[in-house]
Each structure stands twice: as structure tokens, then as C-alpha cells.
Amino acid sequence: MITLRGLTKRYGDVLAVDSLDLEVRPGRVTGFLGPNGAGKSTTMRMVLGLDHPTSGRALVGGRPYRELDRPLHHVGAVLDARAVHPGRSGRAHLLTLARTHRIPDRRVDEVLEQVGLEGAARRRAGTFSLGMSQRLGIAAALLGDPGVLLFDEPVNGLDPDGVRWIRELMRELAGQGRTVFVSSHLMSEMQLTADHLVVIGRGRLITDAPLAEVLAHSAWTAVVVRSPHPEDLVAALEAEGAGVERPGPTELVVTGLGMERVGELAHRAGVVVHELRTRDASLEQAYRELTENAVQYTARNGGGR
């Protein structure tokens, strides 16, 4: 488990991370989301001891990273897929890491096969594509068979098959009881991968909740009713405290009530219903609602000066 307690990081006058309190639990994929400049990478770097907090603590399994004996056995991470000596082969890079942690050579070959790089193991890392570099970084993260894994934008450079592979791998690792903490800007992929979401903005925690809960509380989530006489249902819906919009002459969009309750009210009111369905929010829509006041860098549309 990853535990953050009052985690804060300042760079001069810039407050990059502001008193984060968080527990990233095992057995699930936790998506780490936020706008550019929100503090995601800084937070991950502090968990790994690469940056020192101004105040507060970041713990892995109850201890700071710097106190872990042979840390690759506890934590695996991919923060920068290109952080490999370009003149070394992929296998040589992993062997170097393995021997610093007394990991047997056979484990290197196992993880190369696991990530699909066994055929390119002796090529220089400097010749790897970004997607191949991502796979090598993931192999390094898996090398010590750790219980905690951190991935920062792990699908960058991967083709569609590679994206599906890393999604299935992360879910498999979580299913084994490991802690999987993944940062991404790809909302559609996070919606397919994550069980739980942590969203930050301007260094502060915005939400820490299951994915299903985040989507259910989105204003975009609604019940759509199509009827030849929808006006006969409006009063009954509003009496139950529902929000009602009428985008077309035969359609209502209802918020604040579930589909079953809307159907019951239509039946009670004697309203003929031609369509009754739930309009589910996408994670992108829910995310934009959550972060609309936390975006630090905003570009203007158009080509004017």
C-alpha cells in the first residue's frame, strides 16, 4: 500500500503538491488523474524518494522508500521510459538492475518474455521505439516481483495491441493483490482499466472514490425518456425532486432519479413510454466537471493574435 500523509512540495513560490492525504490500496488499479501541472509526477517522484517533500510523508508498505532493503523487491516503477543507457542492450540493462538486488539472471529472461521483448533483448536500447522502451521499462518494474507498482503514462507509444496488453497486465497484477497506481491523460483507457480514481488539481485532492461512484455523480449521467406526451410526466418527476430538461418535443432528460423510479412514475401517471434508458457519463465528461476550476494551463482556440 502507498500512504501519503500531509504530503507537500514547494519549488520556491510554487506549491506543486498541497497537503495530500491518501491511501492507495492493494487489489485494485487506482487511476491518478489531473490536469497538466496538477502535481501527479511530483507526487510519484516523492513516493520513490526522487524528490524530497517540503513536509509530510510518503510511505510504501509503512516505510519511506529510502528505508526499503533491496527496493525493487517492494516497488516497481516506470516514470520515464527513455531512462536507459542507449548503448546497452535491453537484456544488459535488466541484468545490471538484477545484480544490484541479487535477482537471478533467469528472472531477466522471464520478464523479457512477459513483455514481448525476448526477440529484441540484445538490441541496443537506443534503437528502441517509444513503445519498445515502454515495454523495457515495464520489464524493469516487474523484475523484483514487487507488491507495489507505479506507472506514469504507461501506454505512450504503444500500438492498440500494446495498449490492450498493458491494460490486461495492470488488471492482472491488481487481481494478484498488488497495489497498482497509474497516471494517465487518456480518459477512455482509464475508464476501461481503473477500479478507483484519485483526481488532483493544483496540487490538491479533488476526489478519491471508486470509478463507478465518480461516473454516477456526474451531471451527464441521466435517464432519457421518449414519449408522445412527455409533458404529462414532468410534474410527477419534479415532485420527486428530479431535474428535467426537454431537448426535443418527445424527449425528456431526467437527473436525480434512477431509471426504475422514472418508469414507475410514468406508469403511475398513465404516460405511454416509447423509450426509457440510462445515459451514462464517460470518464472524460466526469473528469472535466471535477477539474473545471483546477486547470492551470488553458490554450485559446482559434488562430488570432
Cα–Cα distance, 180 to 238 (Å, whole number): 43
Same domain, 239 and 94: no
Same domain, 19 and 152: yes
DSSP state of 282: P
Same domain, 14 and 66: yes
Same domain, 198 and 232: no
Cα–Cα distance, 176 to 174 (Å, whole number): 5
Provide the percentage of residues in the chain whose pLDDT is more than 70: 96
Same domain, 239 and 97: no
- Within 10 A of 146 (CB to CB), how many other CB atoms are there? 22
Give the pLDDT confidence score for residue 181 in this predicted structure.
Answer: 98
Summarised one tens digit per residue, pLDDT across range 75-110 is: 999 998 888 899 999 999 999 999 999 999 999 999
Same domain, 264 and 206: no
- Within 10 A of 299 (CB to CB), how many other CB atoms are there? 5
List strands edge to edge, sheet with 55-60: 14-24, 2-11, 55-60
Q: Which of 29, 1, 34 is nearest to 211 (CA)?
A: 29
Provide the whole-model pTM: 0.84
Same domain, 71 and 182: yes
**How many folded domains does the chain comprise?**
2
Same domain, 244 and 170: no
Same domain, 199 and 239: no
Same domain, 138 and 10: yes
Range of the domain at 232: 222-279
CATH number of the structural domain spanning residue 246:
3.30.70.100
Cα–Cα distance, 32 to 17 (Å, whole number): 14
Question: 115, 135 in Cβ contact below 8 A?
Answer: yes
**Does residue 226 lie within any of the structural domains?**
yes
**Does residue 291 lie within any of the structural domains?**
no
